[in-house]
């Protein structure tokens, strides 16, 4: 998305119109703040209008002008729908932290009760909420990877007929109440 300021728009409006026609919407800035959007109406007005807000929000998010939450609000979409929209445009939601290149910033939305419990546990552990969540994720990844490796080792020695031997030894009985298959 191209951008220009009000002064340049006043001096040469045809240049901004040409940019809008050739390259897409042009963001008009007043100082450093977005003030207006110039859009070439080459299709139906409804289709153009429907694409303006998400396009503007995605562009501002990509450039780092808006946080994920503010960009979603500008787009008129829910945060999860906006994240999907960003994905369809190839815009990363998880971005490297320029101050610490070995880390990524990730916008995380938690239910209030879960956040409050995690914050309390972080305080009890004497660490920041960020450190506590990072540790919890690392523990979960370690547990899942360990279980996956264990199950792969166990499955490596299995033969196709092993399970049927156990099933053949199972008595033929009707299912217990609540275990029946749903009727289709």
What is the tens place of the pLDDT at every residue in 23-51?
A: 777 778 787 666 777 877 765 566 566 66
Please check whether residue 181 lies inside any domain of the structure: no
Beta strands 33-38 and 26-30 are: antiparallel
C-alpha distance across the termini of the chain, in Å:
53
The pLDDT confidence band at residue 82, using thresholds 50, 70 and 90, is confident
- Residue of 156, 154, 134 whose CA lies nearest to 146: 154
Distance of alpha carbon 39 from alpha carbon 1, whole angstroms: 11
Please check whether residue 40 lies inside any domain of the structure: no
Please check whether residue 78 lies inside any domain of the structure: no
pLDDT at 116: 94
Please check whether residue 7 lies inside any domain of the structure: no
Tell me the chain's radius of gyration from C-alpha atoms.
Answer: 27
Number of domains, the chain? 1
Residue given tokens 């969540």 in the structure block: 133
Q: How many CA atoms lie within 13 A of 50 on its CB side?
A: 6
Please check whether residue 9 lies inside any domain of the structure: no
Could you tell me the residue range of the domain that residue 154 belongs to? 110-171
The DSSP symbol for 29 reads E
Please check whether residue 58 lies inside any domain of the structure: no
Please check whether residue 159 lies inside any domain of the structure: yes
The pLDDT confidence band at residue 86, using thresholds 50, 70 and 90, is confident
Please check whether residue 142 lies inside any domain of the structure: yes
pLDDT at 115: 92
């Amino acid at each position: 998305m191209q951008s220009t300021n009000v002064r340049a728009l006043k001096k040469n409006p045809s240049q901004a119109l040409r940019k809008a026609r050739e390259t897409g919407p042009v963001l008009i800035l007043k100082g450093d703040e977005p003030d207006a959007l110039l859009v070439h109406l080459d299709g139906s007005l409804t289709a153009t209008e429907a694409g303006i807000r998400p396009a503007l929000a995605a562009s501002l998010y990509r450039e780092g002008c808006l946080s994920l939450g503010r960009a979603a609000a500008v787009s008129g979409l829910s945060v999860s729908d906006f994240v999907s929209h960003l994905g369809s445009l190839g815009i990363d939601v998880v971005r490297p932290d320029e101050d610490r290149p070995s880390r990524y910033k990730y916008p995380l939305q938690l239910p209030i009760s879960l956040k409050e419990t995690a914050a309390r546990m972080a305080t009890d552990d004497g660490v920041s909420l960020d450190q506590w969540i990072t540790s919890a994720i690392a523990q979960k990844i370690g547990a899942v990877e360990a279980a996956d490796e264990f199950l792969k080792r166990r499955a490596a020695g299995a033969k196709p007929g092993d399970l049927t031997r156990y099933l053949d030894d199972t008595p033929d009985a009707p299912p217990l109440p609540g275990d029946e298959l749903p009727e289709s």
